Amino acid sequence: MKAVERAHSALLEKRNHVNKQFTNFVIPSLDLILTEKCTLKCADCSNLMPYFKRPVDSDLNQMLMNLNLILDNIDLLTELRILGGEPFIFRKINEILKFASSQKKIPNIVVYTNGTIVPRPETIENLVNDKIILEITNYGKLSRNFDKLIQTCKENNINYLIRELPETWDDSANIIEPKRSLKEDIAIFEECCAKYLFTLMHGKLYRCPFSASLDAIKKVNLLPNNSITIDNTLTKEKLQKYIYGKNFIDSCRYCLGRSKLLSRVRPARQSKVIREPFKVMQNADLK
């Protein structure tokens, strides 16, 4: 199967995962956050990048150790999603690509980029792999190296897929004050389509990128149910309990969820300011 087809079937498998009981322990996808840094400042970034005042890179050794521990306790990770921020900002991305592509338990790797950076020659070499697909979002003029990147992919036989911006985006980057009732929080989690976007960031596993970044921003104290720390105490049972968890996590109380009920905004609006929790974006804050 070609990499593009595999990426699509992985997506389908992820959707089926909600109700499907696997014989083996399969994690359908894992988002690996390489860096909090991005070349764009999308006000409505669902990974909450505009909230980071002093964004940092993730620690390479910690990521490799965490991935090893997770892989030791599962049978398959259907898709590893490598992202940031902008993952090509992370200077040690080659080590991640080499590690991931050599793992039998990881058949598909997707690297998400915003078309602003053409990777360095060594990274290009590592991207040429049948397991890897580069998903390039076209942000129009903001993707200043889009054409060069496509050309590089073509010249080097890198599997790539272009994602055009939709007409609108989910209004999903608001960190709200936790004022809802328990019943409402349960409903938000139930309806949320992001709750299976398991995310590895700074040594912890989360249900979704929102909960990972909310923790990393360090503006609110989150309850222990929000994540699990990936260390030598990790067991298959502990991992399964979290992955198959049916209850909402503490971050959901600060989130509007990801469902059809969410309002929509103009895509890729660029922010002039560092966003603050509990504050609604004003027109004056946008470029």
Binding site for ligand SF4 (CB under 6 A): 38, 40-42, 45, 47, 49, 84-86, 114, 188-189, 192, 194-195, 207-208, 210-211, 249, 251-252, 255, 257-258
Look up residue 252 and give its DSSP letter. Answer: G
Contact of 274 with 208, CB cutoff 8 Å: no
Residue 145 beta carbon to ligand SF4: minimum distance, rounded to whole angstroms? 13
Residue 127 beta carbon to ligand SF4: minimum distance, rounded to whole angstroms? 19
CA dist 147 to 102, 113, 141, 152, Å? Answer: 30, 13, 11, 9
28 or 85: CB nearest ligand SF4 = 85
Contacts of 187 (CB under 8 A, 6+ apart): none
Q: Which of 50, 51, 49, 122 is nearest to 92 (CA)?
A: 122
DSSP string, 217-234: HTSSPPPGGGEEE-STT-
Residue 104 beta carbon to ligand SF4: minimum distance, rounded to whole angstroms? 30
81 or 207: CB nearest ligand SF4 = 207
CA distance 119 to 130: 18
Residue 44 beta carbon to ligand SF4: minimum distance, rounded to whole angstroms? 8
Residue 52 beta carbon to ligand SF4: minimum distance, rounded to whole angstroms? 10
106 or 252: CB nearest ligand SF4 = 252
Residue 141 beta carbon to ligand SF4: minimum distance, rounded to whole angstroms? 13
Provide the CB-side half-sphere exposure for 31 (13 A, CA): 25
208 or 281: CB nearest ligand SF4 = 208
6 or 17: CB nearest ligand SF4 = 17
58 or 251: CB nearest ligand SF4 = 251
Q: Within 10 A of 251 (CB to CB), how many other CB atoms are there? A: 25
CA distance 185 to 257: 9
